[in-house]
Structure 1
Amino acid sequence: MLDFKEQEFRTQIGSAVGLRPQIEELVDLLQQQGIDNVLLVGSGGTYAQMLPYEYWARRMSTLPIRAAISKELVESGEALLSESTLAVFTSVSGTTADVLEAIEYVKAEGATTVAFTGHPDSAIAKAVTHSLVSQPKTWPFDMQLLLLIGRLLSVRGEFSDYATVAGELMGLPDALLSVARKAEAQAETFAAAHKATDYHFLIGGGPLWGFTYLFSMCILEEMQWLRTTRVNSSEFFHGSLELLEDDTSVLIFKGEDETRVLTERAEKFAKRISKDVTVFDTKDYELTGFSPVTRALIGPIVMDTVMDRVAKHLAKVRDHSLDIRRYYRVMDY
């Protein structure tokens, strides 16, 4: 597979799901403290990655759990922020300035802070109350967030499938490796066909909306300098559909949750207009040993693995490294 380090991949995924005992111990401690609201705080990709868990909690729990953009939180505040707030942060580098500022902001209000990162000596790891460290460069953070929110809901009596889901997550290293291998052919084909495409229209919904936002903004825009439109499948028929033409590159992300029907509705319409619709569907992957409830929840993790293959091939055919930036962390702002 192109630019894929199998052992490193296994180790990183394994280290993330291996945090389960620490996460469960932490949640039990937080329950004793009387945590009564949760902020999932990030910037850019890490904010987008919080969205599935806000969405999930909104459906399952009466515990206020919301995703917040670091800088906006600092400037606008949060009415529930107090000594009984749990604020959760993630950072690959452990150095994101907006996240560090947000940590200090919520700490000043008495919040308990938790960070998931791959660098135990980073500024973010040192700034929080509780730091849970996986292997360096571990991405995504969905496994840790799924365990954390799942355990929180479980101890509140709002998620009876937690033990099943948490147990099945231990099989992710092998399962996601199989996903990556199967996705390679579609990724190579897509990249070859879209070497010169300078605009993509992305559709996803429910727990995959955060990933749709992430791939559009972080990969295609930030890392490839391509223009995009992204729309939640539930909102597709309220504006953005007017941008479709017969040659528009449309990327559709389909999961196995209750909003799949909304994405399929958008897919059917898009295919009536455009001759260039590519569907990425978690149902196409076997995921042996994973129950339907878990398959729905790990949609963002599976899709991240699939689209990582697409990103690598797209970068190759376009001769545009995923690592170069013009402005981000290059210019002051």
Structure 2
Amino acid sequence: MFNFDEELFLKLVEKEGLAYRSQIEDIVDGICSKGYSNIFMIGAGGTIAMMYPYEYILKSSSKIDVHAEIAAEFLVMNNKHFSKDSVCIFTSVSGTTKETIEAIEYCKERGATTFALVAEPDTPITKLVDHCITTGSEKHSFDTFFMLLYMVVFRFMHNNNEFPHYEQFTKEVALLPQAILDAVKAFDKRAEAFAVEHKDTNYHMMVGSGNLWGNTYSYAMCVLEEMQWIPAKSIHAAEFFHGTLELVVEDTSVILLKGEDETRPLADRVERFAEKVTKRLTVIDTKDFAMEGISDEFRKHFAVSINWALLSRISVYLERERNHPLTLRRYYRKMEY
């Protein structure tokens, strides 16, 4: 595959990512034995989007009180659910994100417990939080963070007597890296074809729901807009028929992300409409991929990782076809604002 090192991927995501299981369990078990009132999942840009799947999983599968909050808004909103008994979870690739650092400081000043997943070692965030797991590499960091967050969230659920299948689940988490690799290999030609077809497309609608809403939001904002400077809009499938549908015409690019959770019928409804109107509908459906060894009951959760890896292949080919490096920025971290 173009610009994809399989050996490095498996090393970082499978071997090294899974090595943190015992450390995660020790951290979560310690927090649970101490006691907590709720969980706040806090981030900015791609890292708040990363939290949305896990907020959805907890809301739909657990009675644990959970709040996914944008860091900058969290700092000013005076959230009445937040207290010294809250557990605050963060992720950061660089370990230097300004809003995340400020949110961590805010939480610590008020006595809350802070826990972060960070790619880069010895960075401000790694030194600020009460508990930190540092993966050590920016490469494939989102794939690794997704895997670690599965273990974090489901350990909290297990300790809350809500997830008796935790041991089997973690065994299947170990199978996920190979399932991701198989999926991206199967999807790669489609990813390349999409980039070739859409290298000059000047607007995309991205639609998703449930635990794929975070990926929908993140890809439109962080990749298409920030990394490729292409206007895009993320639309929740449940809200698509309240305004957005009126903008769909024959040549509108609609990218529909279909997962396997309870909200799949919402995506089906969008698909039925879009295929009647536009000739440029792209459906990326995790049901099309085998996920060898993954139980049917867990596929809906792991769809988050599969979907993100597939989207990442599109990014690689868009970069090539448009001659626009994914690292190129006009303003972000280039100027004060």
Query: TM-score scaled by structure 1?
Result: 0.98
- What does 1:302-321 correspond to in 2, within 5 Å? 302-321=306-325
- 3-state SS in 2 of match to 1:82: coil
Distance 1:280 1:236 in 2: 17
Aligned to 2:4: 4
One-letter code of the match for 2:9?
A: F
Distance 2:100 2:270 in 1: 35
Greater shift, 166-175 or 93-102, is seen at 166-175
Distance 1:294 1:248 in 2: 34
One-letter code of the match for 2:48?
A: Y
Greater shift, 41-50 or 149-158, is seen at 149-158
- 3-state SS in 1 of match to 2:319: helix
Task: Tell me by how many angstroms 1:258 deviates.
Answer: 1.2
8 A contact 1:89–1:99 mirrored in 2: yes
- What does 1:103-252 correspond to in 2, within 5 Å? 103-137=104-138, 138-140=141-143, 141-252=145-256
Aligned to 1:70: 71
Distance 1:134 1:314 in 2: 27
Task: Tell me by how many angstroms 1:299 deviates.
Answer: 1.1
Task: Tell me by how many angstroms 1:219 deviates.
Answer: 0.4
Aligned to 2:13: 13
8 A contact 2:38–2:87 mirrored in 1: yes
1:92 is the counterpart of 2:93: yes
Distance 2:12 2:176 in 1: 11
Task: Tell me by how many angstroms 1:80 deviates.
Answer: 2.4
One-letter code of the match for 1:309?
A: R
8 A contact 1:250–1:270 mirrored in 2: yes
Task: Tell me by how many angstroms 1:19 deviates.
Answer: 1.5
Greater shift, 137-146 or 301-310, is seen at 137-146
One-letter code of the match for 1:123?
A: P
Unaligned runs of 5+ in 2: none
8 A contact 1:44–1:214 mirrored in 2: yes
Number of residue pairs matched by the alignment: 333
Task: Tell me by how many angstroms 1:90 deviates.
Answer: 0.3
Task: Tell me by how many angstroms 1:235 deviates.
Answer: 1.2
8 A contact 1:81–1:109 mirrored in 2: no
One-letter code of the match for 1:99?
A: T
Distance 2:147 2:18 in 1: 6
Greater shift, 218-227 or 149-158, is seen at 149-158
One-letter code of the match for 1:3?
A: N
Deviations 1:200-249 (A, max 9, x none): 01111100001000000000000000011211111111111111011001
Task: Tell me by how many angstroms 1:160 deviates.
Answer: 2.5
Unaligned runs of 5+ in 1: none
One-letter code of the match for 1:60?
A: S
8 A contact 1:165–1:293 mirrored in 2: no
- 3-state SS in 1 of match to 2:142: coil
Aligned to 1:58: 59
Task: Tell me by how many angstroms 1:78 deviates.
Answer: 1.9
One-letter code of the match for 2:13?
A: I
- 3-state SS in 2 of match to 1:262: helix
Distance 2:168 2:255 in 1: 32
- 3-state SS in 2 of match to 1:236: coil
Greater shift, 154-163 or 95-104, is seen at 154-163
Distance 2:64 2:182 in 1: 36
Aligned to 2:299: 295
Deviations 1:288-324 (A, max 9, x none): 0001122100111101110111010011111111000
Greater shift, 139-148 or 178-187, is seen at 139-148
Distance 2:58 2:177 in 1: 25
Distance 2:21 2:245 in 1: 42
Distance 2:248 2:92 in 1: 35
Deviations 1:66-87 (A, max 9, x none): 1111111111122122221110
- 3-state SS in 2 of match to 1:49: helix
Aligned to 2:44: 43
- 3-state SS in 2 of match to 1:298: helix
8 A contact 2:50–2:215 mirrored in 1: yes
Task: Tell me by how many angstroms 1:173 deviates.
Answer: 2.2
- 3-state SS in 1 of match to 2:206: strand
Distance 2:287 2:325 in 1: 30
Deviations 1:166-217 (A, max 9, x none): 1101112222111121111100111111111010011111000010000000
Aligned to 2:263: 259
Aligned to 1:283: 287
- 3-state SS in 1 of match to 2:238: helix
Greater shift, 35-44 or 138-147, is seen at 138-147
- 3-state SS in 2 of match to 1:139: helix
- 3-state SS in 2 of match to 1:89: strand
